[in-house]
Amino acid sequence: MWFKNAMAYLALGLIHLFSFLPLPVARGIGAGLGWLIWRLNVRKTRISRKNIAICFPEWSEADREALTRQSLIDFGKTCAEMGMIWCGSRKRVDRLIQRVDGLEHLQAAKAQGKGIILLAPHLGNWEILNHFIAWHLQATAMYKPAKIPALDRFIYKTRKRVDVGLVPADRDGVNALFRLLDEGETVAVLPDQQPSRRSGVFAPFFGHTALTGKLTGELARHGSASLLMCYAWRLEDGRYGVCMKPGPEAMRDPSPERSAAALNQAIEDCVRACPVHYQWGYKRFKYQPDDQELLYR
């Protein structure tokens, strides 16, 4: 445990150090680390390569490997940005948001006053998205505490700094989300989070079976809250764009399988718009029906 604590304090020190660096310098270091992760062919690289092969079988091997490399470099940049985002001034972070696509959908959802469900997949920089959301409304998300207390306190503090409400990732937290929707409030969900077998159903994602959480569909069927897909992606000039678009109404289908299929298709559409920014190193296809295949070695 002492080793994990030592590494946590080292990580916190690096985060604070990166917050003092000019952003282009921090990103350059992050890009180099991302390239190194790819070059060393570590576990994250192999998982990314496998996921990309599953999702883009029609691509050439060279194109898939290029996406593997570019996505890991982008991941390194995102990690390097966290120092400034978590420790820098809010004004400095807010200036990074240069473009917003689909703001009218958020405004229309607010005008309805029936609650909003924000669906934010593992795409782009989620902390930038938190800042944007805080401009417009108070959102609440589930939070699973980090195992290392020092790291947990830091992450919790940074999330609260941008007025994000947090509830525990347990039954009490789930009940809180339903209650907030009943009150016309906004909740944020990671719709492609890997669930347990008991809390998920199998549905297609990029043409391959993926275990998909049932909670998002249950929230969608509860009342008539507006559904919005959202993510923040890095623009060519280094600043960020935010995309907001309506979530699929088919998520309200009483069939958990059809609801999950509609959700996964919406996530897939977002990923195809900017595949470099997706977190391909996540074991999205870890569980398969009847343990028919082991995708990750």
Residue 61 pLDDT > 90: yes
Residue 10 pLDDT > 90: no
* 48 located within any domain: yes
* 296 located within any domain: no
The predicted structure's pLDDT at residue 292: 65
Mean pLDDT score of the chain, rounded to an integer? 92
Entry pTM = 0.93
The predicted structure's pLDDT at residue 256: 97
Residue 1 pLDDT > 80: no
User: By percentage, how much of the chain surpasses pLDDT 90?
Assistant: 73
Chain CA centroid to CA 176, Å: 21
Terminal CA-CA length for the chain: 27
- How many structural domains comprise the chain? 1
* 236 located within any domain: yes
* 266 located within any domain: yes
Residues spanned by the domain of 190 = 2-291
* 297 located within any domain: no
Q: CA-to-CA distance for 227 and 119, rounded, in angstroms?
A: 7
* 38 located within any domain: yes
Q: What is the rounded average pLDDT of the residues 182-207?
A: 94
* 124 located within any domain: yes
The predicted structure's pLDDT at residue 75: 96
DSSP E strand stretches across 55-185: 97-101, 116-119, 139-143, 165-168
User: Cα torsion for 203, 206, 210, 216, to the nearest 10°?
Assistant: -60
pLDDT one-digit tens code per residue, 142-180: 988 777 787 788 888 887 788 889 898 899 999 999 999
Q: What is the rounded average pLDDT of the residues 217-228?
A: 96
The predicted structure's pLDDT at residue 43: 94
Q: Which of 24-28, 133-137, 176-180, 203-207 has the lowest mean pLDDT?
A: 133-137
Residue 294 pLDDT > 90: no
User: By percentage, how much of the chain surpasses pLDDT 70?
Assistant: 97
